[in-house]
Chain A
Amino acid sequence: MGAEKLVRIEKVSMKYYSPEGEISALQDISLNIAEGEFVSIVGPSGCGKTTLLNILAGLIKPSAGAVYIQEQLVSGPTSLVGYMPQDDQLFEWRTIWHNVLLGLEVQKKVNKETKAVAEEMLRTYGLYEFKDAYPSQLSGGMRQRAALIRTLAINPEILLLDEAFSALDYQTRLLVADEVKEIITSENKTAVLVTHDIAEAISMSDRVVVLSKRPGTIKNIHEIKLTCEINTPLGRREAVEFHEYFNRIWKELDVHAEK
């Protein structure tokens, strides 16, 4: 895990325009993310979390400021970035195998080597027997894993997860968070997770970024240091410091002040 800066977010602001007026969604966000780091972003609804991820993914251009990945200015989608949407978004009409190949197809990179890598991942993460099944035949957890492999197949440096687990029921969610974290760690990827779930953020991340209400600014950044025996999201929930982090972030989110 090198401490190299992989992502540099510099004074990013975002304004949206509509006939009703302009909405300032993000204001003056600066953040560095190191290689191999797992960063979570929490913040009240509508504070611009998705906007920030979309900027990182190169889907939208910030109104001010810039994002650099590996010291290159982000000006559009690149294969350095992998995006995990909410609700897995597997295509029902494609088999698991063809879902996994989707990104490679779009980038015209389907070849022997990339296919072998994808196949290997299916094997490693226990989906190989289901490669010819359709998504509707899989459980929620398996679908989420398939979606992750689809993202990893294009071999991105950084993974963006936008409330990726929020469609799952609570128990599945805990298990999937464990699985996903393990996969991301073993593939040595950097990740940015947007979530509403403070516990999820603390249990998965090295750092938790708290955003303020709209326009989103960085309110605080918490380095998460937990003493726990088993270093998995589930294990980390047992740590003594867990609750303290939870309370601090909870207070910062200022849920009561929201109308």
Chain B
Amino acid sequence: MLKNDLSTQAVSKEHLAYLQTRKKYRYRVTAAQIILLVGFIALWEAAAGLRWIDPFIMSQPSRIVQTLHSLYAAGDLFTHVSITVAETVAGFTLGTLFGTFIAVALWWSDYLAEVLDPYLVVLNSLPKVALGPVMIVWLGQGMRAIIAMALLVSVIVTILSVYSGFSQVDKNKITLLKTFGANKRQILQKVILPASIPTIISALKINVGLSWVGVIVGEFLVSRAGLGYLIVYGGQVFRLDLVMASVIILCAAAAIMYQAVVIFEKRFVKWK
């Protein structure tokens, strides 16, 4: 008699009606979402076509599509997208790894945690992008500085959120392990880390967003390649089509990466 086993029950008429109402509601939400997007694009296109707005400044969907096409034809699109994506993936993987690692160290030593506490608080409130120029001086005008930016932006938040996740693990679970004679490493391995996987994954979700910020700002500053570079360049030469096209690709790439984390979560948190 497993709990929550509703599937074997016969579905009553009322339940069916309830399910149908729910389904209809879902359809209405999805329909509204699509209409909103299509309507917005159509309005934008029409407004620019009828010269209510200046397509030179505001750009226009059809011109954005053209720009995307020519970028693609020139073979540049893939290069820029892959550079930015690679930097972001590297930044947020490193940010999450380092952050979790440092959180483990803080958990291991209460003394260290207490000593570092004020520094973490200050670093957390510092806008990390302010350190961009420093990174460029230290690491050079290239990918390394950009990845460092992405890492900086996400690492402190990761440390703080993962560490607080560690501290919230039920004390009784730790006591239980101790009665089995567990040492500190075993407590970390058997309860602290597995119990914190949901926390780590939600840190991961935040880090995806933060890493994009770090990478785009880094690319603005370094200005060699990537979507951030295209946006800055487009802005400087007044090619708003290019800017808009890059922003749209950015939206798509960020959404895909977020989904990847969600899929990762589903695979690793089967017990929820």
- CB-nearest residue of chain B relative to A77? B181
Q: How far is the CB of A258 from chain B (nearest CB, A)?
A: 26
- CB-nearest residue of chain A relative to B2? A137
Question: Do residues B170 and A89 form an inter-chain contact, with CB atoms below 8 A?
Answer: yes
Interface set, chain A 78-98, CB cutoff 8 A to B: 78-79, 81-83, 85-87, 89, 91-94
Q: How far is the CB of B236 from chain A (nearest CB, A)?
A: 51
Please tell me if B206 contacts chain A, counting CB pairs below 8 Å.
Answer: no
Given A92-B271, A137-B3, decide whether A83 and B176 contact each other with a Cβ distance below 8 A: yes
Please tell me if B21 contacts chain A, counting CB pairs below 8 Å.
Answer: no
Instruction: Please give, as numbers and ranges, the residues of chain A lying within 8 Å of B272 by CB-CB distance.
Output: 92, 136
Question: Do residues B2 and A138 form an inter-chain contact, with CB atoms below 8 A?
Answer: yes
With beta carbons under 8 angstroms apart, the residue of A81, A102, A135, A137 that contacts B190 is: A102
Given A102-B190, A106-B181, A136-B271, decide whether A89 and B176 contact each other with a Cβ distance below 8 A: yes
Instruction: Please give, as numbers and ranges, the residues of chain A lying within 8 Å of B173 by CB-CB distance.
Output: 89, 91
Question: Do residues A82 and B2 form an inter-chain contact, with CB atoms below 8 A?
Answer: no
Instruction: Please give, as numbers and ranges, the residues of chain A lying within 8 Å of B176 by CB-CB distance.
Output: 83, 85, 89
Instruction: Please give, as numbers and ranges, the residues of chain B lying within 8 Å of A79 by CB-CB distance.
Output: 180-181
Question: What CA separation (Å) do A85 and B177 show in the bound complex?
Answer: 11
Given A83-B175, A89-B170, decide whether A154 and B194 contact each other with a Cβ distance below 8 A: no
Question: What CA separation (Å) do A258 and B102 show in the bound complex?
Answer: 47
Q: How far is the CB of B169 from chain A (nearest CB, A)?
A: 11
With beta carbons under 8 angstroms apart, the residue of B172, B190, B269 that contacts A86 is: B172
Please tell me if B254 contacts chain A, counting CB pairs below 8 Å.
Answer: no
With beta carbons under 8 angstroms apart, the residue of B2, B175, B195 that contacts A133 is: B2
Please tell me if A103 contacts chain B, counting CB pairs below 8 Å.
Answer: yes
Please tell me if B137 contacts chain A, counting CB pairs below 8 Å.
Answer: no
Instruction: Please give, as numbers and ranges, the residues of chain A lying within 8 Å of B186 by CB-CB distance.
Output: 106
With beta carbons under 8 angstroms apart, the residue of B4, B180, B190 that contacts A77 is: B180
Question: Do residues A106 and B271 form an inter-chain contact, with CB atoms below 8 A?
Answer: no
Instruction: Please give, as numbers and ranges, the residues of chain B lying within 8 Å of A78 by CB-CB distance.
Output: 181
Question: What CA separation (Å) do A102 and B194 show in the bound complex?
Answer: 13
Interface set, chain A 54-102, CB cutoff 8 A to B: 54, 57-59, 76-79, 81-83, 85-87, 89, 91-94, 102
Question: Do residues A59 and B271 form an inter-chain contact, with CB atoms below 8 A?
Answer: no
Question: What CA separation (Å) do A83 and B182 show in the bound complex?
Answer: 13
Question: What CA separation (Å) do A94 and B176 show in the bound complex?
Answer: 15
How many chain A residues have a CB neighbour from B under 8 Å? 33
Instruction: Please give, as numbers and ranges, the residues of chain A lying within 8 Å of B197 by CB-CB distance.
Output: 93
Question: What CA separation (Å) do A136 and B269 show in the bound complex?
Answer: 13
Please tell me if B179 contacts chain A, counting CB pairs below 8 Å.
Answer: yes
Question: What CA separation (Å) do A86 and B176 show in the bound complex?
Answer: 10
Question: Do residues A59 and B179 form an inter-chain contact, with CB atoms below 8 A?
Answer: yes
Question: Do residues B3 and A93 form an inter-chain contact, with CB atoms below 8 A?
Answer: no
Please tell me if A18 contacts chain B, counting CB pairs below 8 Å.
Answer: no
Q: How far is the CB of A99 from chain B (nearest CB, A)?
A: 11
Question: What CA separation (Å) do A43 and B230 show in the bound complex?
Answer: 73
Contact code string A209-245 (vs B, CB < 8 Å = 1, else 0): 0000000000000000000000000000000000000
Question: Do residues A59 and B178 form an inter-chain contact, with CB atoms below 8 A?
Answer: yes
Instruction: Please give, as numbers and ranges, the residues of chain A lying within 8 Å of B269 by CB-CB distance.
Output: 93
Given A83-B175, A93-B271, A139-B1, decide whether A106 and B182 contact each other with a Cβ distance below 8 A: yes
Please tell me if A246 contacts chain B, counting CB pairs below 8 Å.
Answer: no
With beta carbons under 8 angstroms apart, the residue of A77, A89, A154 that contacts B172 is: A89
Q: How far is the CB of B44 from chain A (nearest CB, A)?
A: 48
Given A93-B271, A137-B3, decide whether A106 and B177 contact each other with a Cβ distance below 8 A: yes
Question: What CA separation (Å) do A76 and B182 show in the bound complex?
Answer: 11
Question: Do residues B178 and A77 form an inter-chain contact, with CB atoms below 8 A?
Answer: yes
Question: What CA separation (Å) do A54 and B178 show in the bound complex?
Answer: 10
Q: How far is the CB of A236 from chain B (nearest CB, A)?
A: 28
- CB-nearest residue of chain A relative to B172? A85
Question: What CA separation (Å) do A91 and B141 show in the bound complex?
Answer: 48
Which residue, of A86, A93, A105, has the highest number of chain B Cβ atoms within 10 A? A93
**Subset of 21 A-B contacts with CB under 8 Å:** A58-B179, A59-B179, A76-B181, A77-B179, A78-B181, A79-B180, A81-B179, A85-B176, A89-B172, A89-B176, A91-B190, A91-B191, A92-B271, A93-B195, A102-B177, A102-B190, A103-B180, A106-B190, A130-B2, A134-B271, A139-B3
| Further 8 A-B residue pairs, CB within 8 A, beyond A77-B181, A79-B180, A93-B197 | A83-B176, A87-B172, A89-B170, A91-B194, A106-B181, A106-B182, A134-B270, A136-B3
